[in-house]
Amino acid sequence: MQTHSVLLFRSGQGEVRMTKVRTEQTGEMRENGLQREGYSVGELLRERGVSRRDFLKFCSTLTAALALPPSFAPSVARALDEVKRPPLVWLEFQGCTGDSEALLRSANPTVGEIVLDILSVDYHETIMAAAGHQAEAALDRTIAEQRGKYFCVIEGSIPMKDGGVYGCVGGKSHLERARQVCGGAAATIAIGTCASYGGIAAAAPNPTGAVGVKEAVPKANVINLPGCPCNADNLTATVVHYLVFSKIPALDSHGRPLFAYGKRIHDNCERRPHFDAGQYVEQWGDDGHRKGHCLYKMGCKGPATFHNCPSQRYNEKTSWPIAAGHPCAGCSEPAFWDVMSPMYNRLPSVPGFGIEHAADAIGLGLAAGAAGAFIVHGALNAMRKDKEPGEDTKEG
C-alpha cells in the first residue's frame, strides 16, 4: 500500500497534509481484469468533456461550500484529480425520497456528474436499473468487496418498535439492513432530519418507534446532515471534505458538520437588519412582507436554528424560505417537529423583543427561554461553542 501526502497549508497549530492511499482501488480494477488503471475523478470528467476550466470552477464552488478560504480550491482540485470514484450505497428507510430528490437537483456538481463521474453509486433504489434480488446482489457485492472503503448514505428513519416490522426491503427489516451496511462503511452519512434524528415519523406519539441512524446503530461512524430535505450541496461538500482531508469534518454536539451547521440562521439572515431595526411582517402580504422585513412575528425559527441556508440557499442559490417570504421552520434541529411547532407561533420568551437589542443577548435569551419550554438542548450547546467553522481543518 502506497501513501501519498500533499502539504495543504501551514498555520500556527501546524501543517495540514492531505494523505491518500493510492493502490487499493487500482488493485480492485486489476481483479476485474481491466487493462487500464482506475480513472481518477479528474480524468473521468475530462473523458466526459468537462473542461479543466469548468472542473476548477466546480472545485471553487465546493471549496466555498466547505467554508474554506478560496486559496484551497487548487488543493481540492488536486485531491479530486487523484481520487478514484469511491463507492457509495444509498439506503432509503422510513423516508419520503425528498433527500434523493434534493440530490437530483444538485448543481455543483450535477447529479449526472455525481453518479457517473465522481462516485460509484452502487445502490440507490430510486435510480438504479436493477430490481429485486439482482439489486440486492449489487449491494451485497459492494459491502463485501469494498469493506471499509465505501460510503453509506441513509435516508429516512429506522422503526425500532415491534421488531422493526414497520419497514422492510427484500424481506429484511430496515434495522437489520442498517446494521449490515453501516458496519463496513468508511463513514455513514445520515441525510435529512429523519435519518439524523428520527424526523417526522418520530414526532409524538412516534407510532413506530422511529429513531435516527446513530441511535439505531450506535457503533456506526455517523455524520448527520439534517434539513427537510438536506441541501444537496452540503452532502457533496461532506464527501469532498472526506476525500480532501481523509477524515470526517468536525461535528457539533448533534453530529452535524460545523462547516454547514456552525452558525445560526438568524445571525446570517439577510433580513437581520430589519429584526435589529424592529421592522416586522405583521400580516401576509402587508407592506413589511412585500419589502422583506423580518418574519419573526410570523413564527420564524431562524433564531434557534443552525443551518447554512442563508448563504448556501437552494436550487443553485435561487432562493430559500425566508427570501420567499415564509418563516424558517427550524428543520435542521433535532425534534423540530415537536419543539418548533406550531409553525406560525413565535418563539417564546424573548427579552427585549420589539426594540433594538444586542444580537447575542437576544440569541442567548431565546435559548434560555426555549430551554424551559423546549427540548432544544442543542441550540444552547451549539451556541455556547466558541469553535469557528473551519477550525476542524486546522489539524493534521
Partner 1 sequence: MSKIVVDPITRIEGHLRVEAEVSGGKVSNAWVSGTMFRGIEKILQGRDPRDAWFWTQRFCGVCTTVHSIASIRAVEDALKIKVPPNAQLIRNLIIGIQTVQDHVIHFYHLHALDWVDITSGLKADPVRTAQLAASLSPWPNNSATYFKGVQEKLKAFVASGRLGPFANAYWGHPAYLLPPEANLMATAHYLEALEWQKDIIKIHAILGSKNPHPQTFLVGGMSIPIDPDSQNALNADKLIEIKRLLKKAQDFVEQVYMPDLLAVASFYKEWGAIGGGVGNYMCYPEFPDASGNTWLPGGAIMNRDISKVVELDQKKITEHVDHSWYQDAGAGKGLHPYEGATDPNYTGPTPPYDFLDTEKKYSWVKAPRYEEKPMEVGPLSRVLVAYVSGHKETKEAVDMVLAKLGVGPEALFSTLGRTGARGIDCLLIARQAPKWLDELVGNISKGDFHIHANEKWDPATWPAEAHGYGWHEAPRGGLGHWIKIKDRKILNYQAVVPSTWNASPRDASGQAGPYEAALLGTPIADPEKPLEILRTIHSFDPCLACAVHVLDATGRETVQVRVC
301-320: contacts with partner 1 (CB under 8 A): 313-316, 318-320
Q: Give the one residue of 100, 234, 238, 305 binding partner 1; rule: CB under 8 A.
A: 100
Report 121-150 residues binding partner 1 (CB under 8 A). Answer: 121-138
Contact 258, 392 (CB under 8 A): yes
| Min CB(368)–partner 1 separation in Å | 14
Using CA atoms, how far apart are residues 7 and 23, in angstroms rounded to an integer? 20
167 touches partner 1 by CB under 8 A? yes
Part of the chain binding partner 1 (CB under 8 A), chosen from 72-80, 248-256, 279-287, 347-355: 279-287
Strand partners, 21: 3
Using CA atoms, how far apart are residues 254 and 188, in angstroms rounded to an integer? 15
Using CA atoms, how far apart are residues 268 and 283, in angstroms rounded to an integer? 24
Q: Which three cell numbers mark 291?
A: 419589502
| Min CB(117)–partner 1 separation in Å | 8
| Three-state secondary-structure class, residue 222 | strand
Tell me the number of residues near partner 1 by CB under 8 A: 115
Place of cell 438542548: 377
Site mask for partner 1 (CB under 8 A), range 211-240, x = bound? -----------------xx-----------
329 touches partner 1 by CB under 8 A? yes
Cβ atoms within 10 Å of 159's Cβ, excluding its own: 27
- Sign of CA pseudo-dihedral 89, 84, 22, 77: negative
| Min CB(393)–partner 1 separation in Å | 28
Report 23-62 residues binding partner 1 (CB under 8 A). Answer: 29, 32, 34, 36, 38-39, 44, 47-49
| Min CB(390)–partner 1 separation in Å | 26
Place of cell 462503511: 185
381 touches partner 1 by CB under 8 A? no
Using CA atoms, how far apart are residues 161 and 187, in angstroms rounded to an integer? 26
Q: Give the one residue of 56, 200, 359, 368 binding partner 1; rule: CB under 8 A.
A: 200
